[in-house]
Structure 1
Amino acid sequence: MRIGELSRRTGISVPTIKYYVREGLLPAGQLTSPNQASYDESHEARIRLIRALLEVGGLSVAAIREVMTAIDDRERPVHKVLGAAADRLVPRYDQDPGAGVIEARQVVAELVGRRGWRAEAGGGPAGEALAVALAALDEVGHGTFAELLDTYAEAAEEVARADLGYVTRGGVAREELVEAAVVGTVLGDAVFAALRRMAHVDASGRAFGEGV
């Protein structure tokens, strides 16, 4: 297909498609003449993934380029590809850590070891985000919340297994796996947060004997 048809099928303007190509997010089309290129369904699928990363995941162009590099590296295991995308969805904390965060990192490292999780040292970006949250809890007088970590971890493991089962059903392509992981993580977080709030209401009503 020509770039105009690709634009119509994806709803993305021709200048934006050309921008994606220039930035290394989208492979260039196959040249059919000095001024014409042909595109196919793989370009359409890649644009859908780019939009998911941009609009749902909130990733920067530079971060998306890293994810695309991981996808296109056929020697990289799917686990590493999904990890590259997932790590970019976690907030980054570049400021100098306080003593509370440094102590919380040890708590996180112990959790990772205790659960036997296959994670990089400290749990990676997600582990750092957890350490920052734990430090904040401690700062406002709720440091004992860390006692609930294993309970939360058990629930997270079950949800993670369900998530992975969803995104890997049917032997989909690498791009589709990453798209499903990104959309599922971002929107799945919203779904899980809503369910947690509903469960809180139910638990409170049962504990204190009150109706809705």
Structure 2
Amino acid sequence: MKISELSRLTGVPVASIKYFRRQGLLPAGRATAATLAEYGEEHAERLRLIKALTTLGGLSIAATREVLGAVDQAHTTEGALGAISYALPVPVASQGPAGDEEETDADEAAAAEVAELLAALEWRAPGTSPHVKGLTTALKELRRLDAQYAPGELAAYARLAESVARLDLERASCLDEPVALAERAVIVFAICAPVFELLRRLAQEDQVRRRVTDDGAEPAC
């Protein structure tokens, strides 16, 4: 197909296709003339993935190039999912001022709590994982606000997260093509996460309304 047809098929403007090609994100088409090239379905798949990474995932061009390189080398579900997981922005709580002794103690206490939790769960996550660092920051902020969770409470939440993670991998296990795996991973990490959070809030709303109703009072809203 011509570049104009590729544009219509994917919804990506011709100018953007040419830009992605110059940036090394999209392979060149098969030359048919001095200024013409032919593109195939593999180009359409790559463009859909680029759109998912940049639009849904919010990645920069440089980060997208890095992810695409990792995806191209990933030949398993775990490899593709891992490449996307490490590249997408990690949700982290806001951090307070750093540098003093009290802050260092808070960092160490939160890090120890995360390490203890991961050990109890027998989860395989290195200390260099951005998700370990993100959780450490989040727990430190909870401590700062005097709203920390007890280890047993955190473990209960973690087990629920583990069940969701298994479902994520089961949904992706039927896909063998790295590009398709990567596209599914972006959907899982960038889109499904807000959906799950909204489901949790709806469940909380339901529980609040049930408790208020059971107490004989009408819900406030």
- Please give the TM-score of this superposition, normalised by the length of structure 1: 0.87
Matches for 1:78-157 after TM superposition, within 5 Å: 78-91=77-90, 98-99=103-104, 100-121=106-127, 124-157=129-162
Q: Compute the displacement of 1:206 (Å).
A: 4.7
Q: Compute the displacement of 1:56 (Å).
A: 0.9
Any idea what SS the aligned residue of 1:121 has? coil
Given the alignment of the two structures, is residue 202 of structure 1 paired with residue 206 of structure 2, yes or no? yes
Given that residues 77 and 173 in structure 2 are in contact (C-alpha distance below 8 angstroms), is that contact kept between their aligned partners in structure 1? no
Amino acid at match of 2:3: I
Q: How far apart are the structure 2 equivalents of 1:104 and 1:86?
A: 23
Aligned to 1:42: 42
Q: How far apart are the structure 2 equivalents of 1:103 and 1:31?
A: 60
Q: Which has the higher contact order (CA 8 A, sep 6+)?
A: 2
Given that residues 85 and 178 in structure 1 are in contact (C-alpha distance below 8 angstroms), is that contact kept between their aligned partners in structure 2? yes
Quick one: which of 179, 183, 186 aligns to 1:179?
183
Change (3 A) 1:201 1:8: closer
Q: How far apart are the structure 2 equivalents of 1:2 and 1:176?
A: 23
Q: Compute the displacement of 1:35 (Å).
A: 1.8
Q: Compute the displacement of 1:101 (Å).
A: 2.9
How many matched pairs? 208
Q: Compute the displacement of 1:34 (Å).
A: 2.5
Q: How far apart are the structure 2 equivalents of 1:146 and 1:138?
A: 13
Q: How far apart are the structure 1 equivalents of 2:2 and 2:197?
A: 43
Aligned to 2:58: 58
Q: Which moved more, 1:156-165 or 1:96-105?
A: 96-105
Identity of aligned residues (%): 39
Q: How far apart are the structure 2 equivalents of 1:145 and 1:106?
A: 13
Unpaired segments of 5 or more residues in structure 2?
A: none
Which structure is larger by alpha-carbon Rg, 1 or 2?
2
Q: How far apart are the structure 1 equivalents of 2:209 and 2:113?
A: 33
Any idea what SS the aligned residue of 2:32 has? strand
Q: Compute the displacement of 1:55 (Å).
A: 1.1
- Please give the TM-score of this superposition, normalised by the length of structure 2: 0.84
Q: Deviations over 1:129-183 (max 9, x none)?
A: 11111111100111245542101110001011111112223x3411111111111
Unpaired segments of 5 or more residues in structure 1?
A: none
Amino acid at match of 2:189: T
Aligned to 1:12: 12
Q: How far apart are the structure 1 equivalents of 2:150 and 2:186?
A: 29
